Chains A and B, each alone.
Chain A
Amino acid sequence: MLDDFINQFWPSTIDGLALGAIYALLALGYTMVYGVLRLINFAHADIFMVGTFAALWTVRTLGVSTVGGVALIGVVALCAVVAGVVAGGSAMVLEVVAYRPLRKRGASRLAALISAIGASIFIQQLFATVVVHRVFGTSKEGGKLPVDEHFKKLTDVVDIGPIQISNDKLIIFLGAVLMMVALDQFVNRTKLGRGIRSTAQDPETAVLMGVNIDRVVSVTFVVGGVMAGVAAALYFLRFEQTNYFVGFLLGIKAFTAAVLGGIGNIRGALAGGFVLGLLEMYGSSLFGSQWRDVVAFTVLILVLMFRPTGILGESLQQARA
C-alpha cells in the first residue's frame, strides 16, 4: 500500500496538479458568483460543457487531425479563445435569463437556486436533444453521443529529474496558472475588479458609491464563464472527447474545491482545486481508485470541522488589493 504510494508519487503528483488545475479554473466561477450574489450557480457546470463543445467545434472547423509540439499549443490557445468567448457569452445570457429577473423582483435566494437547477437541466437537455444532433451528427451505431476522433494530440514526454511530464499535462497546468494570475490581477488591480470586490463587501454601499450592480454581476458571470471555457479547452486537450453530461461530475468536484478553499474566496478556490486534485490521486494510489472520492470527501469534512470557512477562510469581501 505505502509502496504503491511511494512508487506512484511523482506520476500521481503530476496528474493531481493537472486535474486540480481544471477543478480550480472551474471553481473560480462558483466562488466569484457566490462572492457577489451569495448564489450557487449550479448551471456553471453546463457552461463548462458548452465550452467543451465549442472546443470540439473549433478543432473540427480547423480540420486538424494530428497535432504536436508548438502547433498543439496554438490549437489549444485558439480552442481556449473560442471556448472562452462561447462560454462567457452563455454565462452572460444565463444570468440575464435565469437570475436577473428574479433579482429584480427581490425573489428569495432559494428561488434563484431552483432557477439555477432548472437552467442546468435545460442546457443539458438542449444539447442532448438538439445541439449535439444538429451540429455534430451522431455516432456510428445510432447512439446520440459523439465520441470524436477528429483531433489527436501527439504526446511528448518531458523528463525533469525523476519526473516525467507529458506535454498535455504541462500545457494544462501552465495554461491554468496563467489564467489564474490574470484573474487575480483583474480583480485586484482594475476598476471593474474593484467594483466586484466592493459589491461583494456591501452591495448597498457599493451602489451609493456609484457602482453599477447589474454591470458588476454581468462581468462576474462573464469572467466565470471565460474561466470555465478555458478549463473546457484544456479538458478537451486532455481527453479529446466530450458529451452533454460531462459537466455534472466535474461541476460537483469544482464546487467541492471552492468550498474546500473557502467559498467566495478566489485564491481559496485555486488552493481548493489543487488540494482536491492531489488528494484524489494520492488517495487512489494508497487505497485504490474506487476510494478516491471517499478520501477526498473525508478530508473535506475534516477541514470543514476545524475550519468551517475552508482552507483560506476569508472571503472575497475581505480580499485586499
Chain B
Amino acid sequence: MERLGTLRRNMMRITGAVAVSAVLALGAVACGDSDDGGSGGGNEVTLGFMGDLTGENSGLVIPPKQGAQLAIEQYNATNPKTKIKLKTYDSQGKPEQATSLALGAVKQDKIAGLIGPAFSGESQSVGPILEEAKIPSVSPSATNITLAEKGWKYWHRVVADDAAQSAGVGTFATNSGMKKVFLVSDNQDYGKGLADAIEKAVKAKGAQTQSDAVDDKGTDYSSTVNKINQFKPDLVYFGGYYAVAGRLFKQLREGGYKGKMMSGDGSLASGLIEGTGKENAQGALLSCGCLIDPTGKTNPKAKKFSDDYKAKFGSEVAIYSTEGFDAATAFIEAVKAGKTEPEDINTYLKTIDVQGVGKKIKFAENGELATEDIFIYEVEGDKLPLLGNSNEAKVS
C-alpha cells in the first residue's frame, strides 16, 4: 500500500509535468504560426511530395517524384519571382506512416501544397489532415473511387479513377472477345476496389466471371492457380501492385494457364516483368489512367517531356512520371499566377485549365479530372509499350 501511494504521487507529478510541457509546446506552435503569417509568405514556396520511395512498390512512386522534380527544376530555372522548393516524404506506402509525416509537413515544414500521396490507402488517412489544415493536394496516382466521394475540398488528382479504369477494361475485354474473366485481388483498398469494379463492368457486357483473393504478404498462390485452371477463363485480371502480380502471373504460367493475363496501373512497372520472368510475362496486358508515351503518339508535348526526362534521369519515362509532372504543373501555374498561400492555390486549382504533358489539367468540382482516358499497355520484350486508348485497342 505504502509503495502504491508513492507510486501514485509520482505518477501525478509526472502527469502534471507532461501537461504543462504540452501546453507550453502548443503555445510555441501557435506563436510560430502567427509569426510566419506576419512576415507574409516570402519568396519561396514549399511543396511536398509524399509516397512510397523505398518500400516494396517504390517502382511506382519514384517516376512521378522525378516527374515533379523535373517540372519544378524547369520552373526554377526560369528565375521566377517566387521559387518552389520540393520536399519529399517517404511514407513507404503505409497509411499510419503517411499520417505522421503529413502532420509534420503541415506543422513544421508549412507546405503550401502536396503532390500525392501516391497510393489510395495513404490518401484515405492523409485526406482529413490536409482538409483540416486547408492544404491543397494533387495526387498523381491514387485511383480509388471513394476518394472523390468524401466531399474533400482540397483534394485533386490528375489520373482517372478506378471506375473509369474498369469501364475502360470492360470495353477493351469485350472488343477483344473475352467471354470468361477471372478476377483476383490482393484484398487491399486499391486492389479489391479495382477488381470488384471490373467484375461489374465485364458482367454488364455479358461475360462470365469468378473471383478469388491472394495474400499480398504471402508467396504461395497455388490455390488461386488451381481455381483459375478449373474455370479456364479467357482473361485473368489482377487488382493490386506489381510485386504480387509478378508472383501470381509466374505461378499461373508455371501452373499451365494459357489465357491472357492483365492487371492495372499498380502493376505497370518493369518490376512486373522481372517478377513474372521475361518469358512468362510476354503479352501480359495492363490498363492505366496514366499516359506513358515516349514517342509522342498522343500529343507533341509528351515527346519533349520524355526527352527532357531521359536527359535528366538517364531512364525512359515510366509509370506516372507524366502525372507527376502534370501534378507539379498545376501548382506551378498557381504560383505563376501569384498564389502562394494554400487557400489561394486551392481556389486557383478550381479554375485551372491548361494542357499538361499528358492530359488536359482541368478539375471537376470533386477534384477529379474533367476528362478521363484509359490506356492499355502490352508487355513486349522487357518493355511496356502503349497499345492504345481503351476504346480503340484490341488483342486477339
Contacts and interface: CB of A to CB of B under 8 A. Distances in A.
B76 interface: no
A284 B223 contact: yes
Contact of A142 (B58, B217, B229, B278): B58
Contact of A141 (B62, B215, B277, B278): B62
B62 A11 contact: no
A147 B220 CA distance: 16
Interface string B27-55: 00000000000000000000000000011
B223 A249 contact: no
A152 B280 CA distance: 11
Size category of the binding interface on chain A: 35 or more
Given A149-B274, A241-B275, A289-B213, A8 B227 contact: yes
- 8 tightest A-B CB contacts, nearest first: A284-B223, A141-B59, A15-B222, A290-B213, A11-B226, A143-B58, A8-B226, A147-B274
A147 B243 CA distance: 9
Given A139-B59, A147-B243, A285 B226 contact: yes
B222 A281 contact: yes
Nearest to B212: A289
9 contacts: A8-B226, A11-B226, A12-B223, A140-B271, A145-B243, A149-B274, A166-B254, A284-B227, A289-B227
Interface string B214-246: 110111111110110110000000000001001
B292 interface: no
Given A11-B226, A149-B278, A280-B223, A143 B215 contact: no
Contacts of A240: 250, 277
Contacts of A308: none
Given A8-B230, A147-B243, A240-B250, A139 B274 contact: yes
A33 B270 CA distance: 42
A155 interface: yes
A126 to B, nearest CB: 16
Nearest to B256: A157
A286 to B, nearest CB: 10
A292 interface: yes
A140 B187 contact: no
Interface of A: 4, 7-8, 11-12, 15, 18-19, 139-145, 147-149, 152, 155, 157, 166, 238-241, 243, 246, 248-249, 280-281, 284-285, 288-290, 292-293
Most buried by A among B62, B63, B218: B218
A242 B51 CA distance: 24
Given A143-B59, A239-B247, A280-B223, A289 B275 contact: no
A24 to B, nearest CB: 14
A293 B279 contact: no
B183 to A, nearest CB: 12
A155 B212 CA distance: 25
B71 interface: no
Most buried by A among B59, B256, B279: B59
Contacts of B220: 15, 19, 238-239
Nearest to B185: A290
A143 B271 contact: yes
Contacts of A18: 222
Size category of the binding interface on chain B: 35 or more
A141 B56 CA distance: 11
A249 B214 CA distance: 14
B318 interface: yes
Nearest to B214: A289
Contacts of B230: 4, 7-8
Nearest to A242: B219
Contacts of B278: 149
B269 interface: yes
Nearest to A246: B219
A145 B56 contact: yes
Nearest to A22: B220
A141 B63 contact: yes
Contacts of A141: 58-59, 62-63, 269-271, 318
Contacts of B63: 141
A286 B254 CA distance: 23
B64 to A, nearest CB: 12
A307 B224 CA distance: 32
B56 A248 contact: no
Nearest to A169: B222
Contacts of A290: 187, 212-215
B213 A11 contact: no
B212 A288 contact: yes
A147 B212 contact: no
Given A7-B230, A248-B217, A249-B218, 7 more contacts: A8-B226, A139-B59, A281-B222, A284-B223, A284-B224, A289-B213, A290-B212
B54 A12 contact: no
A7 B271 CA distance: 34
Nearest to B253: A155
B54 A285 contact: no
Contacts of B277: 149, 152, 240
A142 B62 contact: yes
A154 to B, nearest CB: 10
A8 B225 CA distance: 10
Contacts of B274: 139-140, 147-149
Most buried by A among B62, B215, B222, B227: B222
Interface string B179-214: 000000001000000000000000000000000111
A240 B212 CA distance: 24
B238 to A, nearest CB: 13
A147 B275 contact: yes
Given A147-B246, A241-B275, A140 B56 contact: no
A139 B187 CA distance: 26
A12 B227 CA distance: 10
A152 B230 CA distance: 26
A248 B215 CA distance: 13
B221 A289 contact: yes
A289 B212 CA distance: 6
B5 to A, nearest CB: 28
